[in-house]
Amino acid sequence: MKRHRKTLAFSCAMVIMGILLSVQFKAQNTAERELYQQRPENLIAMIKNLTDKRSKLGSEMADLSDQLYDRRNAYEDQTLVGKSLEQELAKLEIANGTRPVHGQGLEVTFLSTSMVQYSDLITLTNELWASGAEAIAISGIRVNSNSYIHYRQANGGLEITVNNQPVTWPLKILATGDSNNLEKGLTLPGGYVDMMAYNKIYPTLRQKDDLELPAIKSPPHFYYLKEYVVEENTSGQPGETANQTAQ
């Protein structure tokens, strides 16, 4: 009985001891992590470490923001270059006739009854270019630097072709540009309209606010054409260049 009592008493004390110990162990572990429980030296070291880290991170941040700035600038430059290239391309395509255009201009209509010859169309195109036309389309066929106006035999008669495509009647010629100038260029005394009237052909001229001109269907290909590059004379002495060419 006595032995049981002492076992019980010790066990009781030990259980409580164990609980107290483990609780204290945990609490102490937690408390050591708390800043206010730390030693001043540790705290100073921690502050130093953190300051170093912070300054490092600050310099890294500055580097990165520099990089970002550079990249952004580069990107903007690229976009600018891209934009200007696109504009250049658009200009070239417009000039080349490979891009549809629209704008104010003049519409010249020949009725199907009028006896228009292909040479009349060539003259008309010439007159229009001379009057400041920026783009011309004959019967929906865009005229560019390679265009040719001719005729061919078909259905027992002759038909006018532009770029080897037959025109349709009533024949409509569209020209963009200053519509007043264009009209005046044709109607001036002794001009195109007078000349046509002499042949009993009376085209209708109509100024339009917005004309739509299609793109040419097959852009020109250059097989033999090469760009001519002017040789740069770096030394400024013509004799040397001649020698080099001879060699």
Partner 1 sequence: MWWFVPIAALFLGIFAGQHAGIQIPAEMVKYLSIAILAALDSVLGGVRSLLEKSFNSTIMLSGFFANALLAALLAYMGDRLGVDLYYAAVFVFGVRLFDNLSKIRHFLINFIRTRKQRHAADWDGAPTGKTSSVLKEDRS
Contact (CB, 8 A) for 109 and 196: no
**Minimum CB distance to partner 1 smaller for 17 or for 92:** 17
Total residues binding partner 1 (CB under 8 A): 28
**Minimum CB distance to partner 1 smaller for 22 or for 180:** 22
Identified binder of partner 1 from the candidate list 1, 3, 223, 239, rule CB under 8 A: 3
The alpha-helical segments, DSSP class H, found in 97-114 are: none
- Which residues are CB-contacts of 107 (< 8 A; sequence separation ≥ 6)? 172, 173, 174, 205, 206, 207, 208, 211
Q: What crossing angle do the helices spanning 179-187 and 118-130 adopt, rounded to 10°? A: 130
Q: How many helices (H) and strands (E) does the chain have?
A: 6, 8
19 binds partner 1 (CB under 8 A): yes
**Minimum CB distance to partner 1 smaller for 12 or for 74:** 12
In a 10 Å sphere around its CB, with 0-12 CB exposed, 13-18 middle and 19+ buried, how is residue 136 labelled? buried
Smallest separation, CB 25 to partner 1 (Å): 8
Smallest separation, CB 34 to partner 1 (Å): 6
Q: Of 23-82, which residues contact partner 1 (CB under 8 A)?
A: 23-24, 26-28, 30-31, 34, 37
Smallest separation, CB 46 to partner 1 (Å): 19
Listed ranges 18-26, 101-109, 128-136, 194-202: which one lies at the site for partner 1 (CB under 8 A): 18-26
Smallest separation, CB 35 to partner 1 (Å): 11
Smallest separation, CB 74 to partner 1 (Å): 55
Distance from first CA to last CA of the chain, Å, rounded? 127
Neighbours of 179 (CB within 10 A): 20
Which residues make up the interface to partner 1 (CB under 8 A)?
Answer: 3, 5-24, 26-28, 30-31, 34, 37
